[in-house]
Chain A
Amino acid sequence: AQTVTQSQPEMSVQEAETVTLSCTYDTSESDYYLFWYKQPPSRQMILVIRQEAYKQQNATENRFSVNFQKAAKSFSLKISDSQLGDAAMYFCAYRLRMVDMRFGAGTRLTVKP
């Protein structure tokens, strides 16, 4: 079974600094998708960034980038120039084609002004 592990239940970062959230996953497949989702307090879950496993280039979306290490089955999220609005629960997710998405337990990110 595919599992997703987020080893950091909580993280804290100073505004304008950089923070990296960790995610590892377990799979025997070679073609899959990885995602980071953000869930602000009492608000909707939104997609932050996606990565297709067959692509070697790491995905980036403005201040958000990933470090995808396929052999190590690692998929970390780097947030640069952290803003107060980045405070949220961040979920790492894995999805095989046509199979349900698996989520990690989440990392709660606090941004200090």
Chain B
Amino acid sequence: KAGVTQTPRYLIKTRGQQVTLSCSPISGHRSVSWYQQTPGQGLQFLFEYFSETQRNKGNFPGRFSGRQFSNSRSEMNVSTLELGDSALYLCASSLTGDNEQFFGPGTRLTVL
């Protein structure tokens, strides 16, 4: 089985711009979670989608949004980028959402 894939792997944007990141889960997995990883804050949970519905949401501003499609692929969007949004964004999928997660390689976002 193919693992979790994320595109793009690297992204450079400027403040005020918008960005969309994509995640394809392992085939058959219905839950997709997104995390932001920074040296200072560690791994912070953004949101989780299960069967196209947002099931859980972390403490991030409304500039961070996401969605999941019927094939379980997920996208997250960050609008009005700020310097502090520079981070590694990780996507993880799991079969049902209440067990282990499998991570993708991440998207490294740099905001200038």
Interface residues of A (CB under 8 A from B): 33, 35, 37, 43-47, 50, 91, 95-106
Chain A residues near B100 (CB-CB < 8 A):
33, 35, 47, 50
- Beyond A44-B105, A44-B106, whether A100 also contacts B98 by CB under 8 A is no
Please report the C-alpha to C-alpha distance between residue A45 and residue B102 in the assembled complex, in whole angstroms. 8
CB distance from A60 to the nearest CB of B (A): 16
Please report the C-alpha to C-alpha distance between residue A43 and residue B103 in the assembled complex, in whole angstroms. 11
Please report the C-alpha to C-alpha distance between residue A43 and residue B55 in the assembled complex, in whole angstroms. 28
Chain B residues near A44 (CB-CB < 8 A):
3, 103-106
Does B28 sit within 8 A of A, measured CB to CB?
no
| Total inter-chain residue pairs, C-beta < 8 Å | 45
CB–CB B42/A103 < 8 A: yes
Chain B residues near A47 (CB-CB < 8 A):
100-102
Please report the C-alpha to C-alpha distance between residue A105 and residue B92 in the assembled complex, in whole angstroms. 18
* B side interface size, CB within 8 A: 21
Interface residues of B (CB under 8 A from A): 3, 33, 42-43, 45, 48, 55-56, 58, 90, 92, 97-106
CB–CB A101/B45 < 8 A: yes
Q: Which listed residue (A45, A46, A98, A106) contacts B97, Cβ 8 A?
A: A98
Q: A47-B100, A103-B42 are in contact. List 9 more A-B contacts (CB 8 A).
A: A44-B105, A45-B103, A47-B101, A50-B99, A100-B48, A100-B58, A101-B92, A103-B43, A104-B42
CB–CB B45/A100 < 8 A: yes
Please report the C-alpha to C-alpha distance between residue A43 and residue B108 in the assembled complex, in whole angstroms. 12
Q: Which listed residue (B3, B98, B104) contacts A95, Cβ 8 A?
A: B98
Please report the C-alpha to C-alpha distance between residue A46 and residue B45 in the assembled complex, in whole angstroms. 17
